[in-house]
Amino acid sequence: MKAYELGCSLCGRTFPNDSLRLRCTECGEALDTPVIKEGKIKPTEKPGQNVLERYSDFFPFLNLEDDTRLGEGLTPLIQDDVLAAEVGVAALFFKNETINPSWSFKDRGTATGIILAKNLGHDKIGTVSTGNMAVSVAAYGSRAGIKTLVLVSSTIAEEKLNPIAIYDPCLVKVKGDYSKMYDVALELGEKLGIAFINSDATMRVAGYKTIAYEICEQNNFEAPDYVIVATSAGGQMRGIFQGFLDFSHSGYINRLPAMIAAQASGCAPIAAAFEKGQSKVSCFENPNTIAGAIQNPFPPSGNAVLRILKEYGGFTVTGSDDEMLTAQRRLGSRGLFVQPESALTLAVVKKLVASGKIKAGAKVVCVLSGSGLKYTAALEKHALKAHTCRLEDAEGFVSEVF
Ligand SMILES: Cc1ncc(COP(=O)(O)O)c(C=O)c1O
Ligand SMILES: [Zn+2]
């Protein structure tokens, strides 16, 4: 593994890339991998190229030989002219992250996180999550043949527990204040030598850069005007933005998109701070939303997200549970089945056009971060219908209803 420096996203202090350190020892803010200024895409004729092979120049701080491949990334960017006309923008694209190996964008960051853990000689990894990240780390941990600890809240629904357990990690339900688990895990990691790949771990965040590289390539090396990202801890937003920054410095795009952090109105600590012009997020009291995957009341990378939005012309937006469900249904009718958290990105576009925050002629990308199959309980809210008929009546019945 090559020696590189990680930089504090606030004070700029640098640290060697020789540990799993994710916070600045001076100011406590998140650390970033360095911006890549001379990266080159490495295309190949070979089908099934690995995403990290294609963009290996942009990960000089990792020894990619320790790769654990499950086919993450290289997901489609789907243009939808019907929905573009409906919401009132010139072009609307969906980056379909639901087709990743464990059906969410998390796989990109889990892959890079595990590579770093292996590069550093760790033989144990872990994560704290009740949702997509738990599933992803469990899947990649098993694939890598590395001992994997997954800490979940004891109140986790059975529907979410079994899709983690199937990969055979050491799965522990923790009783008590789950919001303290992030910090407890980092201490545990130090003491027991477990490489925790949590929501905003530096190398997990770096893995999300590839979402931006692909969007640029799929859009003829033109950055969209806006990229909308469902935001909780802030890792996904940070990573995607870093990707656009790399491509801009490396000469692949000539401007940056405005990033939009979408949050559930029932848990919107970053949006609340942004609207008040604050530079620091505060804990969001009494969070309550169906969007469990983005319900982090005190996001560890919240301040870093605020800095990106402020410095580069981005902003926040919120959407209600009903708005997410309506958008989920509408996306279903366009062939895309995503979780309500991901549908939030569509839900907010119309509002943003109406309020003039997104210009009518804009090109917009919504990141569809996770599959609808992750949370089938949401389906019950839709009152979905099916017809029934007797076999002998089929012809008459179908002619009537179809
Ligand atoms: C489906 C989905 N979308 C968005 C997010 C938000 O990502 P982040 O916590 O990195 O902000 C998550 C996080 O778990 C998620 O599972
Ligand atoms: Zn610092």
Query: Considering the entire predicted model, what is its pTM?
Result: 0.97
Q: How far is the CA of 249 from the centre of ligand 1 (A)?
A: 27
Atom of ligand 1 nearest to the CA of 296: 9
The Cα 83–Cα 327 span in angstroms is: 11
Sign, CA dihedral 388-394-400-402, equals: positive
Confidence of residue 2 (pLDDT cuts 50, 70, 90): low
| Ligand 1 contact via 339 beta carbon (within 6 Å) | yes
8 A C-beta contact, residue 209 and residue 58: yes
Q: What is the mean pLDDT of residues 61-72?
A: 91
Residue 334, burial from CB neighbour count under 10 angstroms (0-12, 13-18, 19+): middle
pLDDT at 366: 98
The Cα 43–Cα 22 span in angstroms is: 31
Q: Which residues pair with 23 in a beta bridge?
A: 30
The Cα 150–Cα 221 span in angstroms is: 39
Would the pLDDT of 331 be above 60? yes
Could you read off the pLDDT of 130-154 as tens digits, one per residue?
899 999 999 999 999 999 999 999 9
Would the pLDDT of 1 be above 80? no
| Ligand 1 contact via 97 beta carbon (within 6 Å) | no
Confidence of residue 23 (pLDDT cuts 50, 70, 90): very high
Least confident of 98-107, 250-259, 321-330, 368-377: 368-377
- Helices 158-165, 132-144: crossing angle, 10 deg rounding: 10
Residue nearest to atom 16 of ligand 1 (CA): 293
Q: What is the mean pLDDT of the chain?
A: 95
4 vs 59, higher pLDDT:
59
| Ligand 1 contact via 267 beta carbon (within 6 Å) | no
| Ligand 1 contact via 294 beta carbon (within 6 Å) | yes
Assign 322 to helix, strand or coil. helix
Which residues lie below 8 Å from residue 184, measured CB to CB, with a gap of 6+? none
The closest of 152, 375, 342 to 262, measured between CA atoms, is: 342
